[in-house]
Every structure is written in structure tokens, then in C-alpha cells.
Amino acid sequence: MYVPAHFEENRLEVLHRLIADYPLGSLVTVGPDGLDANHLPFEFDAGKGPHGTLRAHVARANPVWQEAAERPDALVIFQGPTAYISPTWYPSKHEAHRQVPTYNYMVVHAHGPIAVRDDEAFVRGLVARLTRRMEAGEPVPWKMGDAPADFISQMLGNIVGIEIEVTRLTGKWKLSQNKASADRRGAAAALDERGSDGQRAVAEAILEAPPALD
């Protein structure tokens, strides 16, 4: 990933927080037919390994877990809020007309080898923890015990666990740091006015990001 210095985010706690807040990752591997991508919800254990450990499960019918035995190197991409930025939101555009459209975003790339965990205890524990996390906001959270035990056992038999000890994390926070302060404030204000959760999150991040020009 190309990361200009003014868009680089290397604070470990910030990278960890995005992974935790946006757990649906794109797992990129190399199979016999070339590059492959699978989109999975990940559990992240920040305390295991120098950069943390990712855990997920895939369908047993998905060949990715078998292919990982020969080609274990993997990349998992986590994307936070994104927003289109119109040049008309920059005050300087109306003076010199030297601005163009762009996209702002926050993304983390996690690299590491895949370890296959094809055992019922690992998969059951992982599914239970992911379920508790995802159901936490529901008025009546669903839990594995709500379903018949034989049905759960059957479902667990259809999936395989994977674990990735992260060896390298790269963060890119593209948040108009290369713009003048007035233009950054203009972009943030326009996003805030439009009102979606994602746009407001990007607006807040723009104002928090250290500028490259000021």
C-alpha cells in the first residue's frame, strides 16, 4: 500500500481500535489460481503477539484453509469510515479553482501467516465470543444456547477456525492532512451537514488528524 508520510498512522493503539471497531476484514491470500479474497468477521486479541492476533472461521467447503497449508502468508484489510470530498467544500477552490475531488478514508493492513485450527473447542469458543460481541447491542441478545445442541454441533462441524499472528501492521489515514486548515474545516463542516454516521465520523477524524501544512 502506498502511504505518503502525511497519511501514515503508526500508533498501535489507534490501529488496534479500528480493527476492533470494524471487525469485518478482507482476507487476501494466494491460491493455486492466484489472488483470492474472503470477507470475514474477525476476533482481535491485541495482547497476543507483538502486533496482536486475528481469529476467524471459514466454511469447511471453502478451500482457503487447505490452501493455507502451502501458502500461509496472508493480508487482512480493515476499513473504517469513508467519505467522498467535493472540491467545492474547500474555501480556496472559490479563490483559485485549484482543487480536485478525492476520497477520505482510514484503513489498516494486517500481515501474517495463517494457522489452521480445525478443532471443535477452538471453533466453539470463537463463535461464542463473536456472537456475544455482535449481539451486545440487541435488546434480547441471541446466544448459542438458544438453539438445540445437536443443531449447533452440526453447524460447528461445517466450519474451520483460522488464526493469524500479526507480524506487520500498516495504517493509512487519508484525511486531508495535505490541505490548508481552512480547507480541512470546510470539508469537515460539509460532511457534518450531510449527516450520515460515516460522514460525521470522517469529519471528526479530519479535525483530529495532525495537519501536514500548518
Tell me the pLDDT of the chain averaged across its residues.
Answer: 94
Q: Is the pTM of this model over 0.85?
A: yes
Give the pLDDT confidence of 181-214 residue by residue, as tens digits. 999 999 999 999 988 999 999 999 999 988 876 5
- Return the axis-axis angle of helices 120-135 and 149-157, rounded to nearest 10°: 110
Average pLDDT over residues 150-160: 95
pLDDT confidence of residue 214 = 59
Determine what percent of the chain is predicted with pLDDT higher than 70.
99
Greater pLDDT, 214 or 92: 92
Determine what percent of the chain is predicted with pLDDT higher than 90.
89
- pLDDT of residue 121 exceeding 90, the answer is yes
Residue 79 main-chain phi, psi, to 5 deg? -115, 130
How does residue 93 score in pLDDT terms, banded at 50, 70 and 90? low
Query: From CA 25, how far away is CA 109, in angstroms rounded?
Result: 9
pLDDT confidence of residue 99 = 84
pLDDT confidence of residue 212 = 74
- pLDDT of residue 135 exceeding 70, the answer is yes
Q: Which fold has domain 5-80+104-176?
A: Pnp Oxidase; Chain A (2.30.110)
Distances, alpha carbon 90 to alpha carbons 26, 86, 106, 119, in Å: 33, 8, 21, 55
